[in-house]
Amino acid sequence: MAYLFTSESVSEGHPDKIADQISDALIDNFLAFDPTSKVACETLVTTGQVILAGEVKSKTYLDVQHIAREVIEKIGYTKSEYMFEAKSCGVLSAIHEQSGDINQGVERANPEDQGAGDQGMMFGYATNETQDYMPLALDLSHKLLQELAALRRENNEIKYLRPDAKSQVTLEYDNHNKPTRIDAIVISTQHDDFDEEATMLAKIKNDLVSILIPRIIAKYPQYAHLFNDKIQYHINPTGKFVIGGPHGDTGLTGRKIIVDTYGGKGAHGGGAFSGKDPSKVDRSAAYATRHIAKNLVAAGIADEILVQVSYAIGVAKPMGIYINTYGTAKVQLTDGEIAKKVENIFDMRPYFIEQRLKLRNPIYSETAAYGHMGRKSEVVTKTFTSPGGNSKTVEVELFTWEKLDFVDKVKAEFGL
């Protein structure tokens, strides 16, 4: 029987995502000047105010206020009428030194024995329903908002857009779990004030359906067949959306964990990513399990795979690895037998995850909006400046967990 499935996304100007981006900008700056930094930094944003709190062990000092303002300006909060503006907002820091009790469980004389920074379970997921092995509804939700942000920055075809926005896509699946069409699209976008609300709502809906959607279809032709004239469009369904961003809603780091991962597909262990250095397995092991799941699906082990790993704080070796292929396995092995082979291929001790995925580099700002998974792995050059005016330029590889660099090893282990 056909069924519907929905995923949502939020823009870089959403309050929670502003918080994530500030926290990850701090992580990048700490790692740029001291790759051994241990950081857990949370951000709260509200009307005219940014509050930073967390624990840090690092050899470097940062101008956290300057970094926060740079992020806010880059997102697009540059006008006083937004009631949250890069140059004028207050920035309060309550960051202090990391607990020695926690640190003693992580650092070891032999780096390979590095313990997990916390207990917990982390999940990775992959499906072959899209080219980037991501769930389709989430992929489309992200792409709608990325294109909407591009329209806002161009300020050409649509001139009234403000940074805050949300999207949601509902897909219809057939009896074989294959997506057949888009049933509904929801977009709520912050905008400049209009004289008449009815005129405003009509214009916004018309612009998004006639400008945004054709750009998506043209840019991603592989999804063109999913669009149809029966799609239910809900554009700014509550009406006026002038008050937005941190003035309309308080934002917090780590409050969009499903947007950050798989849009409700697979599973989630509950730990957020942004603001955490890679010794925190909430982040590093979630990336590592995505890397495993994607390479397994790409190697043809199954059409859809969920990978779980779990840890005890201070212990290097994980408690166990779990695999669920949802009955789609292409090999004559049980999911438990597949898990045993995965253990032979991927060393899931924290130190080896960090080394394999190059996680002690300043690569995290790019992850903090539009999802941590399903992104393009690429090498970029980034420059950081210390409070003393010293600049450091580094070449880093982004989204290493998206690389299909273990497909051959997987095939060899499974005899494919």
Order of strands, sheet of 90-97, starting from the edge strand that comes earlier in the sequence: 90-97, 49-57, 38-46, 251-252
Residue 256 marked ligand-binding: yes
Residue 178 marked ligand-binding: no
Residue 397 marked ligand-binding: no
Residue 14 marked ligand-binding: yes
Cα separation, 261 vs 289, whole angstroms: 12
Residue 280 marked ligand-binding: yes
SS3 390: coil
Residue 413 marked ligand-binding: no
Residue 38 marked ligand-binding: no
Q: Counting beta carbons within 10 angstroms of the beta carbon of residue 264, is it exposed (0 to 12), middle (13 to 18) or buried (19 or more)?
A: middle
Q: Judge whether 7 and 135 are in contact, CB under 8 Å.
A: yes
Token pair in block for residue 259: 């947007």
Cα separation, 370 vs 409, whole angstroms: 30
Give residue for tokens 């999911």: 335
Residue 55 marked ligand-binding: yes
Nearest residue to 310 via CA among 266, 260, 271, 259: 271
Q: Judge whether 68 and 22 are in contact, CB under 8 Å.
A: yes
Residue 255 marked ligand-binding: yes
Residue 229 marked ligand-binding: no
Token pair in block for residue 130: 């899209």
Residue 299 marked ligand-binding: no
Q: Judge whether 146 and 339 are in contact, CB under 8 Å.
A: no
Looking at residue 47, its amino acid is T
Residue 166 marked ligand-binding: yes
Residue 272 marked ligand-binding: yes
Cα separation, 319 vs 222, whole angstroms: 40
| Binding-site sequence positions for Mg(2+) | 16
| Binding-site sequence positions for L-methionine | 55, 98, 249, 280
| Binding-site sequence positions for ATP | 14, 164-166, 240-241, 249, 255-256, 272, 276
| Binding-site sequence positions | 14, 16, 42, 55, 98, 164-166, 240-241, 249, 255-256, 272, 276, 280
| Binding-site sequence positions for K(+) | 42
